[in-house]
Amino acid sequence: MSERLEDIARAMVAPGKGILAADESSGTIKKRFDKINLTSTEDARRDYREMLFRSTDAMKNYVSGVILYDETIRQKAKDGKPLVDIMKAAGSIPGIKVDTGAKPLAGPTAKIETVTEGLDGLRERLADYYKLGARFAKWRAVITIADGCPTWNCVKANAHALARYAALCQEAGIVPIVEPEVLMDGEHSRHDIDECARVTEWTLRAVFRELYDARVNLEGMVLKPNMVIAGQKCAKQASAQDVAERTIKVLKATVPSSVPGIAFLSGGQSDEAATEHLSLMNAIGNLPWALTFSYGRALQAAALQAWGGKPENVAAGQRAFTHRAKMNSLAALGKWTAKLEKAA
Ligand code: 13P
């Protein structure tokens, strides 16, 4: 495959393909395993992810790349083959989470707001990850809607860090996934779709300003934003069509058309809602960028349940994963329907 940033970025958002976010940190994957009463050991994490990456049909046809965690990019399958080689054999590009997490942002909003860390030593870590096979990376910034939040201080600090990260990635020959996530799970009662639209637009404007200042090549990156959606605790929920239209409106106002693709996070939406929203957006059509998925929970929840940590359920887990990947592939083409969902 071509090693040019622009070609890798385009391959990541190729028609009908999207990204599997399997980069849960050890703390997060433990929380997921707790739900199926499974102890999070190194072997259990390997078995689970090996099951996903050996879902050949899904990996070949619907998944363009996988975001890995540091442990996984170095891990070997049960038969001794590096997991990275297994996904590469299926035609899927290995990626790596490189931020070291969202930490309290010092100041008056430290109990609510965070800034994502991980810039120190990043140049050296990227060189190491490149040798291990990574051709794209991810950095997640978190923006919280609450009384008086987000503050400009938080938006600015996170946008700046994203730009410094993206520039370092491109220097290393790695495509940056730029992920500014406006959370949908806030407590704020006025967190309706209008508020999400306002904060998402503000955040994306700040991010693209910083990317410009850092001379990031927009053709060699992928944006990973939230959808424009009401907060989970808001009484006033928007329709799926509203979510699609409002999201496109904000993206058109803020994302230059030189960006090849936008791969959404699922952010706590149900599996089916995340798929439906993506499909409705693509059905609108006439968009300057590819719109696809980079889901974690919405691609994995069903597979994790079906597997349940039991070797005899590997095939069932793979079936569940392949189904979700296929539904999201259809959504990336604007062709998903509830009928197709049920038919399977
Ligand atoms: P979710 O789709 O579960 O939000 O995860 C995507 C992701 O990579 C968050 O950084």
- Listing DSSP states for 119-153 in one string gives -TTHHHHHHHHHHTT--EEEEEEEE--BTTBS-HH
* Residues noted as catalytic: 179, 224
**Burial state string for 121-155 with b = 16 or more CB within 10 A and e = fewer than 16:** ebeebbeebbeebbbbbbbbbbbbbbeebbbeebb
CB atoms within 10 A of CB 31: 11
Q: How far apart are CA 127 and CA 84, in angstroms?
A: 16
Ligand 1 pocket: which of 266, 272, 324 to mutate (most atoms <8 Å of CB)? 266
Pocket (CB within 6 angstroms of ligand 1): 21, 140, 179, 265-267, 295-298
Residue 189: the pLDDT is: 72
The residue whose C-alpha atom lies closest to atom 5 belonging to ligand 1 is 296
Encoded amino acid at 124, one letter: E
- Number of alpha carbons in the 13 Å side-chain half-sphere of residue 8: 26
CA–centroid distance, 268 to ligand 1, in Å, is 8
Q: How far apart are CA 128 and CA 242, in angstroms?
A: 43
- Listing DSSP states for 13-51 in one string gives T-TT-EEEE----HHHHHHHHHTTT----HHHHHHHHHH
- Listing DSSP states for 200-229 in one string gives HHHHHHHHHHHHHHTT--GGG-EE-PPP--
SS3 content of the chain, % helix, strand, coil (to 5): 50, 15, 35
Give the residues across from 76 on adjacent strands: 82
Q: Which residues of the chain have pLDDT under 50?
A: none
Residue 305: the pLDDT is: 98
- Residues whose CB falls within 8 Å of the CB of residue 223, separated by 6 or more in sequence, listed in order: 177, 178, 179, 255, 259, 261, 262, 263, 289
- Listing DSSP states for 239-303 in one string gives PHHHHHHHHHHHHHHHS-TTS-EEEE--TT--HHHHHHHHHHHHHH---SSEEEEEESHHHHHHH
Give the residues across from 94 on adjacent strands: 66
Handedness of CA 30, 36, 39, 45 (dihedral sign): negative
CA–centroid distance, 267 to ligand 1, in Å, is 6
Encoded amino acid at 338, one letter: A
Encoded amino acid at 74, one letter: R
Q: Regarding beta strands 18-21 and 290-295, do their DSSP bridges make them parallel or antiparallel, or are they unpaired?
A: parallel
pTM: 0.98
Residue 187: the pLDDT is: 67
The CA dihedral of 246, 161, 24, 56, to the nearest 10 degrees, is 70
Which atom, in ligand 1's list, is nearest to the CA of 274? 2
Structure tokens at 126: 């990227």
Q: Tell the burial category of 72 from Cβ atoms under 10 Å away from its Cβ (0-12, 13-18, 19+).
A: buried
CB atoms within 10 A of CB 113: 25
Which atom, in ligand 1's list, is nearest to the CA of 298? 2
